[in-house]
Amino acid sequence: MTAKRIKLVEGGETLAGTGAVEGTVYMFGMGDIGQLGISAEKRKFPALVPELPNGGKEGVQVQCGGTHTVVLLKDGTVYTYGNNDDFALGRDTPDEEDMKEPGKVELKGKVVQVTAGDSHSAALTADGEVYLWGNFRDSNGFMGLIPGNEKKSVKSPVLLTLFKSPGEAINIKITKIASGSNHLIMLGEDNHIYTCGCGEQGQLGRQKLRSSSRRTAGSNLSDKDYMLTPLLVRTLGAKKVIEIWAGDFTTYCKVKSGPVWVFGLNNYGQLGVEPEPEGTEPTILVPVKSGGLLGNNWVQISAGEHHALALDADGKVHSLGRNQDGRLGLGPTHESEQTIWVATAVPRLENDVCVQIACGLSTSYAIKKNKNQVFAWGFGVNYQLATGDDEDQTEPTPCKFSIRDDTLENVVYLSAGAQHVGLIRSETVAQENHIDVPELKEPKRKTAKASTLQRTASTKRAKK
């Protein structure tokens, strides 16, 4: 029997104004710079953010950046809290306490999606416009945010202008955005993508590595300003992109009736491409087909620094990339392999239907359809797994809602940052979803084992 396709309630698929499930905002993990929105160094279990309007009960999306958080409410307004050294909050914070308390970001129009990177934030409006604030960084430090701003951070949201080529502006509405650590991806209504930010690891899909002091051929832009220009990714040609996702240094694009195309850092095969031999530059500068992601209809991909999760249309969770600290959730089965470049089913979730996945820097999360229960695995430092301690978990482990060992359920949205996590919990889902979901009875497809399709690559750390 063919399995029934699931409906995804997650990151950009259903947001404000498009049928999003609203609920209450909770935070846990590291909070040393105010990124939890409360006065707490750390939180072992999910905590309310009472200073949000109506106690945070009207959240539809929460995005965790490096050390800051962006919250979208059902009325289309945006609130931020956390580190504001590079103006990632998009508002004035005269003193440290102002950073730790949620504050409203002044934006024009109703916002339908937000994203957060290491030190930048972005918002997409119902009119298809994108606002950006904060700063991008590369290996030399500050890049700035927009062309010509001399590496300065931008305190207040600026409206982005898209370009078909340098100097040739184009009027296209954006339908979705995605942020990596220091880059921004935008999907246009024309089914093309536009990128800006740092491109040192190839994550923009449209520029070559070269000195920032040199000029880009055919334009008067410096290489730095060329990267900061929201520009069409021409290297995808006429392909119609229908979905985008971003990891810390990676970009994933799903095309209509075709495979996933990828670009960026691939030192551990996190793009689903077999890594090059040791000593070879581990970056993919222009889009290529992801061989490790072939054969499935992916409805969501989430990526951290060196790993990724992929959720297929049957609700099955797969992982790939760096197999360390338990972040792939494969348990003892692949413990001898440092690199997994073919998407591999997470064993402990094989009999479950999941509706959302999320990755932190070196952590992973999945929300099951049954009771919308959250499971976590990976690097456990600073309580970012909500298991009650700071131990690493090599396989999906139930998150706890409180010290009473209650399981974390009724979650409709989750986002993970460097070492903190935000989620939205809905009592409406609690009323509707407390029933057992029958197991899918679909014949198992014969697939080659990951170990026969890949080889172990170098375990050296990425250049940043």
One digit per residue, pLDDT tens: the chain, 464 residues? 333 333 444 333 344 433 478 999 999 999 999 999 999 999 999 999 999 999 999 999 999 999 999 999 999 999 999 999 999 999 999 998 999 999 999 999 999 999 999 999 999 999 999 999 999 999 999 999 999 888 889 999 999 999 999 999 999 999 999 999 999 999 999 999 999 999 999 999 986 545 433 455 555 678 889 999 999 999 999 999 999 999 999 999 999 988 999 999 999 999 999 998 887 889 999 999 999 999 999 999 999 999 999 999 999 999 999 999 999 999 987 888 899 999 999 999 999 999 999 999 999 999 999 999 999 999 999 999 999 999 999 999 999 999 887 999 999 999 999 999 999 999 887 655 433 333 333 334 333 333 333 333 333 334 43
SS3 assignment, position 164: strand
Q: CB of 348 within 8 A of CB of 398?
A: no
Residue carrying structure tokens 């456990």: 380
The rounded distance, in Å, linking the Cα atoms of 104 and 29 is 23
pLDDT computed for residue 181 by the predictor:
98
At 73, which amino acid appears? Answer: L
Task: Provide CB contacts within 8 A for 66, sequence distance 6+.
Answer: 83, 117, 118, 119, 181, 417, 418
Strand-strand pairing, 317-322 and 339-345: antiparallel
Q: Are 145 and 120 in contact (CB under 8 A)?
A: yes
Alpha-carbon 78 to chain mean position: 18
Residue 184 in 3-state DSSP? strand
- Residue 12 has a pLDDT of 34
What is the per-residue pLDDT for 207?
A: 63
What pLDDT score does 336 carry? 83
Q: Which amino acid is at 161?
A: T
CA distance 449 to 278: 24
Tokens of 87: 């103006």
| Three-state secondary-structure class, residue 112 | strand
Contact in structure between 329 and 364 (CB atoms under 8 Å): yes
Cα–chain-centroid distance for residue 132?
A: 17
Q: What backbone phi and psi angles, to 5 degrees, belong to 54?
A: 55, 35
What's the pLDDT at 40?
94
Distance CA 26, CA 453 (A): 41
Token pair in block for residue 305 = 């620094």
Task: Compute how many other C-beta atoms are within 10 angstroms of the C-beta atom of residue 313.
Answer: 15
**Concatenated DSSP letters for 252-266?**
EEEETTS-EEEEEE-
Q: What is the CA radius of gyration of the chain?
A: 21
**Closest of 301, 299, 269 to residue 284, by C-alpha:** 269
C-alpha–C-alpha distance, residues 156 and 188, integer Å: 24
Tokens of 355: 């509706």
Return the number of other C-beta atoms located less than 10 Å from residue 222's C-beta: 17
Are 226 and 209 spatial neighbours (Cβ–Cβ below 8 Å)? no
